[in-house]
Structure 1
Amino acid sequence: MTKKVLVLFAHPAQSDSEVNMPLFSALSSIERVTTVDLYAEYPRFRIDVEKEQQRLLAHDIIVFQFPMYWYSSPAMIKEWQDLVLEYGFAYGKAGDQLKNKSVLIMTSAGAQQDAYQTEGLNQYPLRELLRPFEQMAHLCQMHYLPPFVLFGSRTAHEELRIDGHIKQAKTLIQAIQKGKLDHTSLGHYALSNDYFQESEAQR
Protein backbone atom coordinates (compact mmCIF):
# COMPACT_ATOMS: atom_id res chain seq x y z
CA MET A 1 0.00 0.00 0.00
CA THR A 2 1.28 3.47 -0.90
CA LYS A 3 2.13 5.39 2.24
CA LYS A 4 0.67 8.83 2.95
CA VAL A 5 3.05 11.78 3.04
CA LEU A 6 2.60 15.09 4.87
CA VAL A 7 4.76 17.97 3.60
CA LEU A 8 5.09 20.83 6.09
CA PHE A 9 6.47 23.76 4.11
CA ALA A 10 7.90 26.92 5.65
CA HIS A 11 9.32 29.80 3.62
CA PRO A 12 8.92 33.35 4.95
CA ALA A 13 10.00 35.00 1.67
CA GLN A 14 8.12 33.07 -0.98
CA SER A 15 8.21 35.86 -3.57
CA ASP A 16 11.99 35.41 -3.73
CA SER A 17 11.90 31.63 -3.92
CA GLU A 18 13.39 30.06 -7.04
CA VAL A 19 13.80 26.57 -5.57
CA ASN A 20 11.39 25.81 -2.76
CA MET A 21 8.16 27.12 -4.27
CA PRO A 22 8.55 25.07 -7.49
CA LEU A 23 9.48 22.03 -5.40
CA PHE A 24 6.48 22.50 -3.10
CA SER A 25 4.19 22.74 -6.13
CA ALA A 26 5.69 19.59 -7.64
CA LEU A 27 5.28 17.61 -4.43
CA SER A 28 1.64 18.70 -4.30
CA SER A 29 1.00 16.81 -7.54
CA ILE A 30 2.05 13.41 -6.14
CA GLU A 31 -0.76 11.03 -5.21
CA ARG A 32 -1.33 10.54 -1.47
CA VAL A 33 0.79 13.58 -0.61
CA THR A 34 -0.72 16.33 1.56
CA THR A 35 1.04 19.70 1.37
CA VAL A 36 0.68 22.43 3.99
CA ASP A 37 2.08 25.95 3.65
CA LEU A 38 2.56 26.82 7.31
CA TYR A 39 3.21 30.53 6.80
CA ALA A 40 0.05 30.85 4.71
CA GLU A 41 -2.01 28.87 7.18
CA TYR A 42 -0.68 30.56 10.31
CA PRO A 43 0.39 34.11 9.35
CA ARG A 44 0.23 35.16 13.00
CA PHE A 45 1.91 32.00 14.29
CA ARG A 46 -1.29 30.90 16.05
CA ILE A 47 -0.89 27.21 15.37
CA ASP A 48 -3.88 24.92 15.77
CA VAL A 49 -2.19 22.19 17.79
CA GLU A 50 -5.01 19.66 17.65
CA LYS A 51 -5.37 20.10 13.88
CA GLU A 52 -1.64 19.60 13.36
CA GLN A 53 -1.54 16.55 15.60
CA GLN A 54 -4.40 14.98 13.69
CA ARG A 55 -2.50 15.61 10.46
CA LEU A 56 0.47 13.78 11.86
CA LEU A 57 -1.64 10.82 12.93
CA ALA A 58 -3.18 10.57 9.45
CA HIS A 59 0.16 10.27 7.63
CA ASP A 60 3.06 7.82 7.57
CA ILE A 61 5.89 10.06 6.37
CA ILE A 62 6.47 13.62 7.61
CA VAL A 63 8.50 15.94 5.38
CA PHE A 64 9.78 19.29 6.61
CA GLN A 65 10.57 21.46 3.58
CA PHE A 66 12.33 24.79 4.02
CA PRO A 67 15.35 26.89 2.98
CA MET A 68 18.24 26.98 5.45
CA TYR A 69 18.14 30.19 7.49
CA TRP A 70 21.20 30.84 9.65
CA TYR A 71 22.12 27.14 9.78
CA SER A 72 18.65 26.05 10.81
CA SER A 73 15.02 26.24 9.74
CA PRO A 74 12.81 29.34 9.51
CA ALA A 75 11.12 30.32 12.78
CA MET A 76 7.77 28.78 11.85
CA ILE A 77 9.18 25.25 11.97
CA LYS A 78 10.55 25.76 15.48
CA GLU A 79 7.24 27.24 16.63
CA TRP A 80 5.42 24.27 15.14
CA GLN A 81 7.74 21.83 16.92
CA ASP A 82 7.46 23.61 20.26
CA LEU A 83 3.66 23.57 20.24
CA VAL A 84 2.65 20.44 18.31
CA LEU A 85 5.13 17.85 19.59
CA GLU A 86 3.71 17.80 23.10
CA TYR A 87 4.77 15.62 26.02
CA GLY A 88 2.34 12.73 26.24
CA PHE A 89 1.65 12.93 22.51
CA ALA A 90 4.98 12.81 20.71
CA TYR A 91 7.29 11.78 23.55
CA GLY A 92 7.41 11.01 27.26
CA LYS A 93 5.14 8.75 29.24
CA ALA A 94 2.53 7.33 26.87
CA GLY A 95 3.79 9.73 24.21
CA ASP A 96 4.21 7.28 21.37
CA GLN A 97 1.70 8.55 18.82
CA LEU A 98 4.38 9.10 16.20
CA LYS A 99 6.26 5.85 16.76
CA ASN A 100 7.59 4.24 13.56
CA LYS A 101 6.57 7.14 11.32
CA SER A 102 9.36 8.52 9.13
CA VAL A 103 10.84 12.03 9.01
CA LEU A 104 12.57 13.58 5.99
CA ILE A 105 14.13 17.04 5.77
CA MET A 106 14.09 18.66 2.32
CA THR A 107 16.08 21.86 2.35
CA SER A 108 18.13 24.24 0.23
CA ALA A 109 21.43 25.87 1.11
CA GLY A 110 22.85 28.93 -0.57
CA ALA A 111 26.48 27.80 -0.46
CA GLN A 112 28.01 24.89 -2.30
CA GLN A 113 28.52 21.58 -0.51
CA ASP A 114 32.25 22.11 0.02
CA ALA A 115 31.39 25.06 2.30
CA TYR A 116 29.63 22.58 4.60
CA GLN A 117 32.74 20.67 5.65
CA THR A 118 34.98 20.74 8.71
CA GLU A 119 37.51 22.90 6.87
CA GLY A 120 34.91 24.81 4.85
CA LEU A 121 33.43 28.24 5.41
CA ASN A 122 30.55 26.90 7.53
CA GLN A 123 32.74 24.45 9.52
CA TYR A 124 30.16 21.66 9.75
CA PRO A 125 28.58 19.19 7.33
CA LEU A 126 24.95 20.09 6.73
CA ARG A 127 23.83 16.79 8.29
CA GLU A 128 25.47 17.95 11.54
CA LEU A 129 23.69 21.30 11.48
CA LEU A 130 20.40 19.43 11.20
CA ARG A 131 21.10 17.17 14.21
CA PRO A 132 18.28 18.74 16.28
CA PHE A 133 15.79 17.26 13.79
CA GLU A 134 17.48 13.89 14.05
CA GLN A 135 17.26 13.99 17.83
CA MET A 136 13.61 15.08 17.57
CA ALA A 137 12.92 11.96 15.52
CA HIS A 138 14.80 9.79 18.01
CA LEU A 139 12.88 11.17 21.00
CA CYS A 140 9.58 10.67 19.18
CA GLN A 141 10.56 7.08 18.20
CA MET A 142 10.43 8.00 14.51
CA HIS A 143 12.68 6.88 11.67
CA TYR A 144 15.01 9.65 10.49
CA LEU A 145 15.78 9.59 6.77
CA PRO A 146 18.94 11.32 5.48
CA PRO A 147 18.22 14.93 4.48
CA PHE A 148 17.70 15.77 0.82
CA VAL A 149 19.50 19.01 -0.03
CA LEU A 150 19.99 21.40 -2.92
CA PHE A 151 23.36 23.07 -2.41
CA GLY A 152 24.30 26.27 -4.22
CA SER A 153 20.67 27.32 -4.40
CA ARG A 154 21.60 30.94 -5.14
CA THR A 155 22.85 29.97 -8.59
CA ALA A 156 20.69 26.88 -9.23
CA HIS A 157 18.28 28.71 -11.54
CA GLU A 158 21.02 30.14 -13.76
CA GLU A 159 22.78 26.77 -13.85
CA LEU A 160 19.56 24.95 -14.81
CA ARG A 161 19.76 22.58 -11.84
CA ILE A 162 16.29 23.06 -10.36
CA ASP A 163 14.35 20.73 -12.66
CA GLY A 164 16.78 17.88 -12.00
CA HIS A 165 16.55 18.46 -8.26
CA ILE A 166 12.76 18.41 -8.35
CA LYS A 167 12.77 15.22 -10.42
CA GLN A 168 15.00 13.50 -7.84
CA ALA A 169 12.84 14.80 -4.99
CA LYS A 170 9.71 13.31 -6.52
CA THR A 171 11.51 10.03 -7.22
CA LEU A 172 12.67 9.91 -3.60
CA ILE A 173 9.21 10.56 -2.17
CA GLN A 174 7.55 7.99 -4.41
CA ALA A 175 10.18 5.34 -3.62
CA ILE A 176 9.69 5.90 0.11
CA GLN A 177 5.92 5.79 -0.32
CA LYS A 178 6.14 2.41 -2.02
CA GLY A 179 8.63 0.96 0.48
CA LYS A 180 11.45 0.77 -2.07
CA LEU A 181 13.55 3.08 0.12
CA ASP A 182 13.41 3.41 3.90
CA HIS A 183 15.54 4.19 6.95
CA THR A 184 17.35 0.87 6.53
CA SER A 185 18.28 1.18 2.85
CA LEU A 186 19.10 4.90 3.16
CA GLY A 187 20.61 4.75 6.62
CA HIS A 188 24.27 4.54 5.59
CA TYR A 189 24.09 7.73 3.52
CA ALA A 190 24.87 11.12 5.09
CA LEU A 191 22.39 12.70 2.68
CA SER A 192 19.69 11.17 0.51
CA ASN A 193 21.42 12.92 -2.41
CA ASP A 194 24.22 10.37 -2.03
CA TYR A 195 21.82 7.59 -3.02
CA PHE A 196 21.28 9.22 -6.41
CA GLN A 197 24.98 9.93 -6.90
CA GLU A 198 25.80 6.29 -6.18
CA SER A 199 23.06 5.07 -8.50
CA GLU A 200 24.32 7.28 -11.33
CA ALA A 201 27.90 6.13 -10.76
CA GLN A 202 26.83 2.50 -11.13
CA ARG A 203 25.17 3.04 -14.50
Structure 2
Amino acid sequence: MIALRDVSKTITEPDRSPRVLFDRLDFELSDDERSVAITGRSGSGKSTLLRILAGLDTDFEGTYEHDGRALERTAPRMAAHRLRHIGIVTQDADLLGDRTVLDNVRLGVPERSGSAALALAALEAVGISHLAGKRPGRLSGGEAQRVAIARAIAKRPPVVLADEPTGALDERTEDDVLTLFDLLQRAGTRFVIVTHSGRIAQRCDRRLVLHQKQLLEPHP
Protein backbone atom coordinates (compact mmCIF):
# COMPACT_ATOMS: atom_id res chain seq x y z
CA MET A 1 0.00 0.00 0.00
CA ILE A 2 1.74 3.26 1.09
CA ALA A 3 4.90 3.59 3.15
CA LEU A 4 7.46 6.15 4.29
CA ARG A 5 11.08 5.04 4.75
CA ASP A 6 13.76 6.97 6.66
CA VAL A 7 11.86 10.25 6.44
CA SER A 8 13.56 13.28 7.98
CA LYS A 9 12.24 16.82 7.93
CA THR A 10 13.39 20.10 9.42
CA ILE A 11 11.13 23.14 9.74
CA THR A 12 11.87 26.79 10.46
CA GLU A 13 10.31 28.23 13.60
CA PRO A 14 8.81 31.77 13.67
CA ASP A 15 12.07 33.05 15.19
CA ARG A 16 13.84 31.51 12.16
CA SER A 17 15.56 28.81 14.21
CA PRO A 18 15.52 25.30 12.71
CA ARG A 19 13.68 22.42 14.37
CA VAL A 20 13.97 18.76 13.42
CA LEU A 21 10.42 17.46 13.12
CA PHE A 22 11.13 13.88 11.93
CA ASP A 23 14.37 11.92 12.15
CA ARG A 24 14.46 8.80 9.94
CA LEU A 25 10.79 8.13 10.60
CA ASP A 26 9.11 5.04 9.16
CA PHE A 27 5.43 4.40 8.46
CA GLU A 28 3.57 1.68 6.61
CA LEU A 29 -0.12 1.10 5.92
CA SER A 30 -0.31 -2.58 5.09
CA ASP A 31 -2.96 -4.29 2.98
CA ASP A 32 -4.50 -6.05 5.98
CA GLU A 33 -5.04 -2.87 8.03
CA ARG A 34 -8.30 -1.00 7.68
CA SER A 35 -7.38 1.94 9.92
CA VAL A 36 -4.42 3.51 11.68
CA ALA A 37 -4.65 6.29 14.27
CA ILE A 38 -1.78 8.75 14.73
CA THR A 39 -1.76 10.63 18.01
CA GLY A 40 0.71 12.94 19.72
CA ARG A 41 1.13 16.32 21.37
CA SER A 42 0.28 19.54 19.58
CA GLY A 43 3.24 20.65 17.50
CA SER A 44 4.69 17.14 17.18
CA GLY A 45 4.11 17.15 13.41
CA LYS A 46 0.96 15.05 12.97
CA SER A 47 -0.62 17.28 10.32
CA THR A 48 2.71 17.65 8.52
CA LEU A 49 3.04 13.88 8.42
CA LEU A 50 -0.43 13.61 6.91
CA ARG A 51 0.49 16.22 4.28
CA ILE A 52 3.55 14.13 3.37
CA LEU A 53 1.37 11.02 3.04
CA ALA A 54 -0.99 13.03 0.84
CA GLY A 55 1.87 14.16 -1.41
CA LEU A 56 1.18 17.80 -0.52
CA ASP A 57 4.56 18.24 1.17
CA THR A 58 7.54 16.97 -0.81
CA ASP A 59 10.20 18.90 1.11
CA PHE A 60 11.70 16.04 3.11
CA GLU A 61 14.47 13.47 2.98
CA GLY A 62 13.63 9.82 2.60
CA THR A 63 11.43 7.64 0.40
CA TYR A 64 7.70 7.53 -0.31
CA GLU A 65 6.62 4.10 -1.54
CA HIS A 66 3.40 2.89 -3.15
CA ASP A 67 2.88 -0.84 -3.59
CA GLY A 68 6.57 -1.42 -2.89
CA ARG A 69 7.89 1.06 -5.46
CA ALA A 70 9.51 4.39 -4.65
CA LEU A 71 7.73 7.39 -6.15
CA GLU A 72 9.53 10.30 -7.73
CA ARG A 73 9.14 13.05 -5.15
CA THR A 74 8.04 15.90 -7.40
CA ALA A 75 4.86 17.94 -7.11
CA PRO A 76 3.38 16.70 -10.46
CA ARG A 77 4.15 13.03 -9.70
CA MET A 78 2.75 13.23 -6.19
CA ALA A 79 -0.33 15.09 -7.42
CA ALA A 80 -1.01 12.31 -9.91
CA HIS A 81 -0.59 9.74 -7.14
CA ARG A 82 -2.97 11.69 -4.88
CA LEU A 83 -5.64 12.00 -7.56
CA ARG A 84 -5.65 8.24 -8.15
CA HIS A 85 -5.11 6.82 -4.69
CA ILE A 86 -5.74 9.31 -1.87
CA GLY A 87 -8.83 11.00 -0.43
CA ILE A 88 -8.48 13.78 2.17
CA VAL A 89 -10.82 14.84 4.99
CA THR A 90 -10.00 17.98 6.99
CA GLN A 91 -11.41 19.11 10.32
CA ASP A 92 -13.19 22.15 8.89
CA ALA A 93 -14.85 20.48 5.86
CA ASP A 94 -13.60 23.29 3.57
CA LEU A 95 -16.77 23.45 1.46
CA LEU A 96 -17.46 26.14 -1.13
CA GLY A 97 -20.45 28.16 0.03
CA ASP A 98 -21.51 29.29 -3.44
CA ARG A 99 -21.93 25.73 -4.73
CA THR A 100 -24.40 23.00 -3.93
CA VAL A 101 -23.53 19.94 -1.87
CA LEU A 102 -23.47 17.85 -5.06
CA ASP A 103 -21.11 20.28 -6.79
CA ASN A 104 -18.80 20.32 -3.77
CA VAL A 105 -18.55 16.53 -3.87
CA ARG A 106 -17.98 16.55 -7.64
CA LEU A 107 -14.79 18.54 -6.99
CA GLY A 108 -13.32 15.35 -5.53
CA VAL A 109 -13.63 13.51 -8.86
CA PRO A 110 -10.76 14.18 -11.32
CA GLU A 111 -12.72 13.28 -14.45
CA ARG A 112 -15.72 15.53 -15.13
CA SER A 113 -17.48 12.89 -17.23
CA GLY A 114 -19.57 10.81 -14.89
CA SER A 115 -18.63 12.91 -11.86
CA ALA A 116 -22.26 13.69 -10.98
CA ALA A 117 -23.13 9.99 -10.74
CA LEU A 118 -20.04 9.25 -8.63
CA ALA A 119 -20.76 12.23 -6.38
CA LEU A 120 -24.36 11.18 -5.86
CA ALA A 121 -23.27 7.63 -5.08
CA ALA A 122 -20.84 9.00 -2.48
CA LEU A 123 -23.61 11.11 -0.91
CA GLU A 124 -25.79 8.02 -0.75
CA ALA A 125 -22.94 6.10 0.90
CA VAL A 126 -22.75 8.67 3.70
CA GLY A 127 -26.54 8.91 3.99
CA ILE A 128 -27.20 12.45 2.81
CA SER A 129 -28.18 12.19 -0.87
CA HIS A 130 -31.33 14.15 0.01
CA LEU A 131 -29.11 17.19 0.67
CA ALA A 132 -27.55 17.22 -2.81
CA GLY A 133 -29.21 20.48 -3.85
CA LYS A 134 -28.54 22.42 -0.64
CA ARG A 135 -25.82 25.00 -0.03
CA PRO A 136 -23.25 24.36 2.74
CA GLY A 137 -24.48 27.33 4.76
CA ARG A 138 -27.73 25.46 5.46
CA LEU A 139 -26.04 22.33 6.82
CA SER A 140 -25.34 21.28 10.39
CA GLY A 141 -21.74 20.57 11.44
CA GLY A 142 -22.29 16.84 11.13
CA GLU A 143 -23.90 17.17 7.70
CA ALA A 144 -21.03 19.36 6.46
CA GLN A 145 -18.50 16.80 7.64
CA ARG A 146 -20.41 14.04 5.85
CA VAL A 147 -20.20 16.11 2.67
CA ALA A 148 -16.44 16.39 3.17
CA ILE A 149 -16.21 12.63 3.62
CA ALA A 150 -18.33 12.07 0.50
CA ARG A 151 -15.99 14.35 -1.46
CA ALA A 152 -13.00 12.32 -0.23
CA ILE A 153 -14.49 8.96 -1.26
CA ALA A 154 -16.26 10.03 -4.47
CA LYS A 155 -13.36 8.94 -6.69
CA ARG A 156 -13.25 5.66 -4.70
CA PRO A 157 -9.68 5.96 -3.41
CA PRO A 158 -8.14 3.01 -1.59
CA VAL A 159 -6.88 5.30 1.21
CA VAL A 160 -8.50 8.23 3.03
CA LEU A 161 -6.35 10.55 5.16
CA ALA A 162 -8.34 12.33 7.87
CA ASP A 163 -6.95 15.21 9.93
CA GLU A 164 -8.94 15.62 13.19
CA PRO A 165 -12.14 14.74 11.29
CA THR A 166 -14.41 15.08 14.35
CA GLY A 167 -12.55 17.80 16.24
CA ALA A 168 -15.30 20.37 15.69
CA LEU A 169 -18.22 18.00 16.36
CA ASP A 170 -20.16 17.15 19.50
CA GLU A 171 -19.94 13.63 20.93
CA ARG A 172 -23.17 12.38 19.38
CA THR A 173 -22.23 13.61 15.91
CA GLU A 174 -18.73 12.19 16.39
CA ASP A 175 -20.31 8.79 17.04
CA ASP A 176 -22.28 9.08 13.79
CA VAL A 177 -19.12 9.91 11.82
CA LEU A 178 -17.19 7.04 13.43
CA THR A 179 -19.99 4.63 12.58
CA LEU A 180 -19.80 5.87 9.01
CA PHE A 181 -16.03 5.30 9.00
CA ASP A 182 -16.62 1.73 10.18
CA LEU A 183 -19.06 1.12 7.34
CA LEU A 184 -16.65 2.54 4.75
CA GLN A 185 -13.83 0.38 6.11
CA ARG A 186 -15.96 -2.73 5.75
CA ALA A 187 -16.54 -1.69 2.14
CA GLY A 188 -12.78 -1.62 1.53
CA THR A 189 -11.61 1.95 2.22
CA ARG A 190 -8.56 2.28 4.48
CA PHE A 191 -8.13 5.22 6.84
CA VAL A 192 -5.16 7.01 8.38
CA ILE A 193 -6.57 9.31 11.05
CA VAL A 194 -4.71 12.04 12.91
CA THR A 195 -6.54 12.67 16.17
CA HIS A 196 -6.35 13.88 19.76
CA SER A 197 -9.37 11.72 20.61
CA GLY A 198 -8.75 8.52 22.53
CA ARG A 199 -12.23 7.35 21.49
CA ILE A 200 -11.27 7.52 17.82
CA ALA A 201 -7.85 5.94 18.37
CA GLN A 202 -9.37 2.98 20.21
CA ARG A 203 -11.62 2.20 17.24
CA CYS A 204 -8.68 1.92 14.83
CA ASP A 205 -6.88 -1.33 14.01
CA ARG A 206 -3.51 0.16 14.98
CA ARG A 207 -2.46 3.12 17.09
CA LEU A 208 0.80 5.06 16.75
CA VAL A 209 2.18 7.98 18.74
CA LEU A 210 4.32 10.69 17.16
CA HIS A 211 6.93 11.31 19.85
CA GLN A 212 10.52 12.55 19.78
CA LYS A 213 10.62 12.68 15.98
CA GLN A 214 9.46 9.07 15.58
CA LEU A 215 6.25 7.06 15.19
CA LEU A 216 6.07 4.67 18.14
CA GLU A 217 3.75 1.94 19.30
CA PRO A 218 1.98 3.15 22.48
CA HIS A 219 2.79 1.52 25.80
CA PRO A 220 0.14 -0.93 27.00
Specify if TM > 0.5. no
TM-score normalised over the length of structure 2: 0.28
**Higher helix share goes to which structure?**
1
Larger radius of gyration: 2
Q: Which has the higher contact order (CA 8 A, sep 6+)?
A: 2
TM-score normalised over the length of structure 1: 0.30
**Higher strand share goes to which structure?**
2
